[in-house]
A and B are shown apart, each in its own frame.
Chain A
Amino acid sequence: MSQTKLHSEPLLRVVKRAERPAGQAAALRAVAVVLSIVAGGVFLLALGQNPLAVYGTMLSGAFRSAMAIQGTVRYAIPLCISALAVTLAFKMKFWNIGGEGQLIMGAVFASYFALYHANLPHVVLLVIMALAGALGGGLWALIPAVCKVRWGTNETLFTLMLNYIALYIVQYLRDGPWRDPESAGFSKVARFDKNVALDKLFGVHIGWVIALVLTVVIWVYLRRTKQGYEIAVVGESQDTARYAGIPVRRVVLRTMFLSGAVAGLCGMVQVAGQDMTLSIGVAGGVGFTAIIVAWLCQLHPGMIALVSLCFGVMEKGSGVVQSDLGLSADCADVLQGVILFFILASEFFVRYAFVARKKGGAR
């Protein structure tokens, strides 16, 4: 008999599992949240902090006063809107990593009217700015979409690169044509006229209303309309879409325009509601975090609104942790990273299982 050296069975194997019931998956995610808090706590202990105090401060920092809550909501607004924006494209399996750039271009388009037509009637100006923002973001998103349907370019890289171009456009405008003449030596765009400011409701600019309305609108659009149905079919299989007589190219272009338009609207909300100027920090990574939010929520608009708020709590809360407990901003980032890691990892466990080697092997 041939004596062959065999590799033993691996200690742990990863096995794809049958689809878990929804309840079980939800429970698993809940466990992940708890675990993430525990792991974050261990990290904090290692830093010599009292985890309970830190978490407590984080929560109270986010909710301790009306003003704190308003701050939390302000963080959530752009996240929610841009996550909704990328959701439109993601439903179609068009990997739009360019939410950041589309947001920026929306902000640029809207800022033009804020800077040069600030004397228009308030409501008219805001409506024009919103439309301009949507147009700017939409057109910016159309560029990779057109190239994709025409030449089959890789949309992931394309949209990613356009983010940087958008950022450089803002830099150019800031240092060049739109530079505030009154700020000698410092490049910046002038602060907008007060007429530009988005109105406030309950102390927060109405961007939050826009975000909630968009949540419902996009939910209805994706689930109930013919165009939403087309997006779903194109996303599942372009062959099927072709078979069904769906004009695939048109759907891709239209949906990407909408995706960019929503992101662009978010840019307008940011400049008119939050920043009151155009700066290179206008997006500040929101377009990327939005991708995480969208996936975390499995592209469900309602969940996106909720999870964005949770991110707002984390952001706002860790700011207070930093100043109150002297924890550096980097530590707060690590803490957020730990929490995110666990929650994203739980998605793996929803889909896969580890199987341990049986004692004694196969015999």
Chain B
Amino acid sequence: MKKFLSILLAVCLLALCLAGCGASSSGSQAAGGSSAAAGGDATGAGIPADQIKVGVIHIGDPADGSGYSYAHDQGIVGMQQALGLSDDQIIRKNNVADDDAAAIQTALEELVEAGCNIIFATSWGYMDYCEAMAEEYPDIIFSHGTGSKSNGTNFNNYFGRIYQARYLSGVAAGLNTKSNKIGYVAAWGTENGEVTSGCDAFAMGVYSVNPDAEVYVKTTNSWYDPEGEKAAAQALIDLGCDVIGQHCDTPNPQLAAEEAGVYGVGYNSDMAKDAPGAVLTSVVWNWSAYYTTAVQNVIDGTWVAGEKVDNYYGGLAEGFVDITDLSDLCAEGTAEAVEEARAKILSGEWDVFDGEIEGNDGQMHTSEYYLDVNWYFKNVVVK
């Protein structure tokens, strides 16, 4: 596992070096004007690698061995190894519930006290507290994951173009359905851009290889609802779906698929571990791509607290999002089709939400920013 990660990291780093400041420039869509002079004028004010201190706030405990906090912490560990930081340069606050204001506040303050230069807050619920603390402590960078706020000087947001990976997984799904009905368990409906854009990208991936197939969406209205997710998957299977994709936290939809003898596409971690008999591939994050980039930027003086810090929306190109290796369950030709799509995205000439796209409401939609997507692609059927 560790070996795999370090190789992955090495690849990422190589990609980063090649892309130069690609990450920040390509991810600056929402960062406003601050990206204009990306990397150029911020000079010399970097912090030596052996002096930098990095704080992390986890909602769970990385020691759990799987799940959200574990995935993030693997990213932190990857960053630490890649940059050669010592253990006492990383300070972790675990089990900080993101609805316990006092705990969040104290955790942030203790990281400030401990002398952290950059603090990664990994859960969405930390956002407002990071914003407030950033104002109070302008010389510390508060880097908040999966959120929507930033201030351009010492409070940024990092998130990924997960839709790119979802598009690839859609290609795989589209080539493996026989009933031409593909299920998708979504945490939220169109009110949530993150989920909806991912669903559309998946559907577009399906459409690109199988225009006859339809994507049935069922929402659970919760990020984490083991029972509801399982029930939704089951309902979709009952409707005739033979591939189950998902955007929710537990592997239950994949387990339901395996039980029913249909295929599935996992999310967050490699769910082939959970349901080897169903999972074609899984859509995954590689957080260390960002953590390494971010800390490197601080070391280099590319990011300077109080002056400039960019938002980060890495995608396939940065190695920040990807799908896991296709399983043996996939039909012949799947790998080739996926590679073709990947090459198209990596080429930079085309992205999933480019141009006008027809929605299932018959309207044409254009999307400036993928997190604003609030419509479904034309082959999506809400169930």
Contacts and interface: CB of A to CB of B under 8 A. Distances in A.
Nearest to B374: A184
A74 B108 CA distance: 14
A329 interface: yes
A279 B193 contact: no
B287 to A, nearest CB: 19
Contact of B101 (A182, A277, A322, A323): A277
A83 B212 CA distance: 66
B147 to A, nearest CB: 9
Contact of B124 (A65, A186, A277, A328): A186
A104 interface: no
A15 B124 CA distance: 57
A320 to B, nearest CB: 6
Interface in A11-46: none
Contacts of B334: none
Contacts of B308: none
Given A67-B113, A71-B106, A328-B63, A185 B191 contact: yes
Given A185-B188, A186-B125, A280 B63 contact: no
A74 B94 contact: no
A67 B93 CA distance: 17
Interface string B81-114: 0000000000111110101111101110111111
Given A276-B132, A323-B93, A328-B61, A75 B102 contact: yes
Interface residues of A, number: 34
A322 B94 contact: yes
Interface string B107-138: 10111111000000000110010001000000
Contacts of A191: 128, 132
Contact of B113 (A65, A276, A277, A328): A65
Most chain B CB within 10 A, of A70, A182, A329, is at: A329
Contacts of A270: 101-102
A193 interface: no
Contacts of A185: 187-188, 191-195, 223
A95 B114 CA distance: 43
Contacts of B124: 186
A169 interface: no
A284 interface: yes
Contacts of B132: 191, 276
A265 interface: no
A191 B128 CA distance: 7
A70 B102 CA distance: 12
A332 to B, nearest CB: 10
21 contacts: A67-B112, A68-B113, A71-B110, A184-B194, A185-B188, A185-B192, A185-B195, A191-B128, A191-B132, A270-B101, A274-B102, A275-B101, A276-B128, A281-B102, A284-B100, A319-B107, A320-B110, A322-B93, A324-B91, A328-B63, A329-B61
Interface of B: 61, 63, 91-95, 97, 99-103, 105-107, 109-114, 124-125, 128, 132, 148, 187-188, 191-195, 223
